[in-house]
Amino acid sequence: MFFRAARRLVLRKPGLGIRGIHNPGDTAHSKGKIAPYTNYHAQRSYPMPDEPFCTELNAEQRALKEKEKGSWTQLSHAEKVALYRLRFHETFAEMNRRSNEWKTVMGCVFFFCGFTALLIWWQRVYVFPEKPITLTDEWKAKQLQRILDMKGNPVQGLASRWDYEKKEWKK
């Protein structure tokens, strides 16, 4: 909503907006080809574009717009659809269609996460210092015995998990 307001402020300045031509014949197949500097923008939360989708009309379309000024009961169904397509790029159903973009996004997220793992591997090989002696398995085993001898955290902590009679971890 605020982006739209900002957009309108920016694009209202003369010279910045190239009026979209939007030949209705090829909009069906060129949904990615809208010029970036047109004032047409519709979204579900703000479906009121500043200008019609097609601004340059051929003679047939101009005649139709003239007919639109009269009573709308004279318009055939096809003409009404054509008028809609002149004013709007897509119907609500088309605009709100779901897409598979999330798959691409998540795939790329996972890919780069995986790449991060490779970076950390490189770090482990080339950057990490020697493992301190206190982190070797033998030292840790002796340290554990010392803590158990001192009965460290005997209420809820480490020594409470050790069975002193059977000399094994409690199940």
Chain residues binding another protein by CB under 8 A are: 24, 28-29, 31-32, 60-61, 64, 78-79, 81-82, 85, 99-104, 106-111, 113-115, 117-118, 120-121, 124-125, 128, 131, 135, 137-138, 140-146, 148, 158, 161, 169
CB 100 within 8 A of CB 107: no
CB 51 within 8 A of CB 21: no
Give the three-class secondary structure for 22. coil
Q: How far is the CB of 153 from another protein (least distance, A)?
A: 11
DSSP letter (8 states) at residue 18: P
Q: Which residue number, 26 or 44, has a Cβ lying nearer to another protein?
A: 26
Question: Tokens for 159?
Answer: 């020594």
Q: How far is the CB of 80 from another protein (least distance, A)?
A: 10
Q: Which residue number, 16 or 109, has a Cβ lying nearer to another protein?
A: 109
Q: How far is the CB of 44 from another protein (least distance, A)?
A: 19
Q: How far is the CB of 96 from another protein (least distance, A)?
A: 14
Q: Which residue number, 44 or 98, has a Cβ lying nearer to another protein?
A: 98
- How many whole angstroms separate alpha carbon 11 and alpha carbon 9? 6
Maximal CA-CA distance, the chain? 100
Q: Which residue number, 17 or 52, has a Cβ lying nearer to another protein?
A: 52
Q: How far is the CB of 146 from another protein (least distance, A)?
A: 5
CB 152 within 8 A of CB 158: yes
Q: Which residue number, 96 or 143, has a Cβ lying nearer to another protein?
A: 143
Nearest to 50 by CA among 15, 12, 80: 12
Identity of the residue numbered 28:
A
